[in-house]
Chain A
Amino acid sequence: MPVFLEDPSEFSKERLKSELIAHNVALPPGENKKQEYLELYLKNVDTKNAADFSSDEEEELPVSVDSEQRAEEPDMRDLSRLTDEDLKAYLRQHGFQAGPITATTRYVYEKKLKRLMEPKSQAQKNGSEDKAVYSDSEEEENEEEQEQPDPSLETVTCVEKEIANSKMETHSMADYHWYPQCFMPPARLVKRPKKSAEPTSSAPSTFSVTELVEKIERRRSSIAEPEPEWENSWNRERRPESCGRRPLQMLDKLTMTNTSLLDTSPMSTFRHQMAVPVTDVLMEIFPETEKTPTGIVATRRRPIKGAAGRPVKFKYPDTPLSPKTTGQQEVQRHKFPIWVQLLCFLIVTLLLLVTYLATEDTLKSSLTLLLDNLNEVLAAPSVEDAPLIADAAVPLLSGE
């Protein structure tokens, strides 16, 4: 911008005035000396220009350099303070080709820029909120909440050894609470010192399904049977000297401050715990997906890794061929040309025909012989009957 290269003190009075008006600076009433205008100009416009100028310089840098930071820049200032060129440049940065920025269009473009910048900043805000949700401190609180019942239960069992009537309930409860520890004690033992050592980094990584189930069960038990728990704490308060251990104080404190394990607060924390790890699981499954404000992500369905639905030829890529098919292939390979086959066929048929004819001749002869014999046999009686017939015929003839 050539304006910034000039010395404002060399401007004419009229120019200074117009510059001030252009930069929305209220002019002092009446005619004034140039010096006053110059001071106003230096105070209001020049500083602004300097800032704008620097941002302009940045614009000429490669775009890849912290483009996000620059995109946020107009957010910090008022959009109306941007020069027309800056406004246009920001719009271009957001992928919008702005037309001429005039007095009547400027406001429209400012709104447009605001709208273009909004989704981005909103997403960032949401991201930070997510981080707050997953923050370590909260996780730690939950951990504490979760860990505190255990020592207390120790004391509870200790106390209840002396008290007979509610022994059964506590035992069942104690068992209920103890089994996860038997289930996976090393994880707990390892985790606790680690947490104290580096509380920030361990929180997201320590999540495990078994632990979640464990938590849920514990909460459920404390919700389902609040009576014995209450009774236990009551009993212990009556005779604290029976068990002079440190964990006892913790539970006493708990009950005294009404942050008992029973009613509302565990429930709410329970809910909270439920919510957080579930999303965590999603993040574990799809680590590459972006966090969205709604938490709903639509992705292309992944192909199933099994053989389901695949064509058979891909299912068993190198099955050994059956002997039958190999034989067929052999035959195929050693096949004669078709004319040779035809020739063979003709020869064979000819041979068959010849043999048939030959045999037919002999058959015919034998048949004729047989027939002749038969004829002879039949002919003999007919010859004998002939005179009888002739005799019979004679009287008939004679009678006439």
Chain B
Amino acid sequence: MSSTSQKHKDFVAEPMGEKLVMALAGIGEVLGKRLEEKGFDKAYVVLGQFLVLKKDEELFRDWLKDTCGANVKQQGDCYGCLREWCDSFL
């Protein structure tokens, strides 16, 4: 699950700074490439989308699926890691 993944822990542990989009939990190389193609090259851009969707899980999952074709687990990982990051740093 998202809470156990090392990527999730690493991302949530510190401010994201200029991290790439692939640093997000659930976003691997393939999805990262797709997101970069659409202009979401940095993790904070995805965070911006996450925030502009008002942290709504359903909408964010929807958006992620449409943008890069993430599956349910990847959606959940990405959402969970962003939400947790927001909880601690926002």
Asked if A199 is at the interface of the complex by the 8 Å CB criterion, the answer is no
Which of the residues A97, A99, A102, A108 comes within 8 Å of B66, measured between beta carbons?
A108
A112 at interface, CB cutoff 8 A: yes
Interface-side segment among B17-25, B48-56, B69-77: B48-56
- What 0/1 pattern do residues 48 to 68 of A give for CB contact below 8 A with B? 000000000000000000000
Residue of chain A at shortest CB distance from B49: A104
Please state if B49 and A107 are interface contacts (CB–CB under 8 Å).
Answer: no
Interface of chain A residues 98 through 146 with chain B (CB within 8 A)? 99-100, 102, 104-105, 107-109, 111-112
Which residue in chain B gives the minimum CB-CB distance to A99?
Answer: B54
Q: How far is the CA of A111 from the CA of B66 in the complex (A)?
A: 10
Bound-state Cα–Cα, A365 to B35, Å: 128
A112 touches B49 (CB 8 A): no
Are B52 and A112 within 8 A (Cβ)?
Answer: no
Q: Which residues of A contact B62 (CB under 8 A)?
A: 108, 111-112
Q: Which of A100, A102, A112 contacts B59 (CB 8 A)?
A: A112
Alpha-carbon gap, A97 to B56, bound state (A): 11
- Which residues of the other chain, A, contact B66 by a CB distance below 8 angstroms? 107-108, 111
Interface size class of A (residues with CB under 8 A): 10 to 19
The residue in chain A whose Cβ has the minimal distance to the Cβ of B58 is: A112
CA distance A99 to B56 in the complex (A): 10
Report the Cα distance A104→B40, complex, angstroms: 10
Contacts of A97 in B (CB 8 A): 54
Chain A residues within an 8 Å CB radius of B58 = 112
B63 to A, closest residue via Cβ: A108
* Chain B residues within 8 Å of chain A by Cβ, number: 10
- CB nearest to A101 among chain B residues: B52
Distance A107 CA – B59 CA, assembled complex (angstroms): 10
Looking at the assembled complex, report how far the CB atom of A92 sits from the nearest CB atom of chain B, in whole angstroms. Answer: 14
Cβ–Cβ < 8 Å partners of A102 in chain B: 52
Measured between alpha carbons, how far is A105 from B58 in the docked complex, in Å? 13
Q: Which residue of A is nearest B61, CB measured?
A: A108
Q: How far, in whole Å, are A111 and B64 apart by their CA atoms in the complex?
A: 13
Nearest-Cβ distance from residue A370 to partner chain B, whole angstroms: 108
A99–B48 Cα distance when bound, in Å, is: 12
Q: Which residue of A lies closest to B67 (CB)?
A: A104
CB distance from A291 to the nearest CB of B (A): 29
With A and B bound together, what is the CA distance between A104 and B52 in angstroms?
9
Report Cα–Cα, A99/B59, bound state, in Å.
11
> Cβ of A111: which chain B residues have Cβ within 8 Å of it?
62, 66
Q: Which residues of B contact A100 (CB under 8 A)?
A: 52
A111 to B56, CA, bound (A): 14
CB distance from B75 to the nearest CB of A (A): 13
Q: How far is the CA of A108 from the CA of B58 in the complex (A)?
A: 10
In chain A between 203 and 250, which residues have their CB closer than 8 angstroms to a CB of chain B? none
Give the docked Cα–Cα distance between A102 and B63 (Å): 13
Which residues of A have CB within 8 Å of B49? 104-105
Q: How far is the CB of B4 from chain A (nearest CB, A)?
A: 29
Write the nearest CB–CB distance from B1 to chain A, whole angstroms: 25
13 interchain pairs, CB-CB under 8 A: A97-B54, A99-B52, A99-B54, A105-B49, A105-B52, A105-B53, A105-B63, A108-B59, A108-B63, A108-B66, A111-B62, A111-B66, A112-B59
Given contacts A105-B59, A107-B63, A112-B59, 11 further A-B contacts (CB under 8 A): A97-B54, A99-B53, A100-B52, A104-B49, A104-B63, A105-B52, A107-B66, A108-B53, A108-B59, A108-B63, A109-B59
Chain A residues engaging chain B, CB cutoff 8 angstroms? 97, 99-100, 102, 104-105, 107-109, 111-112
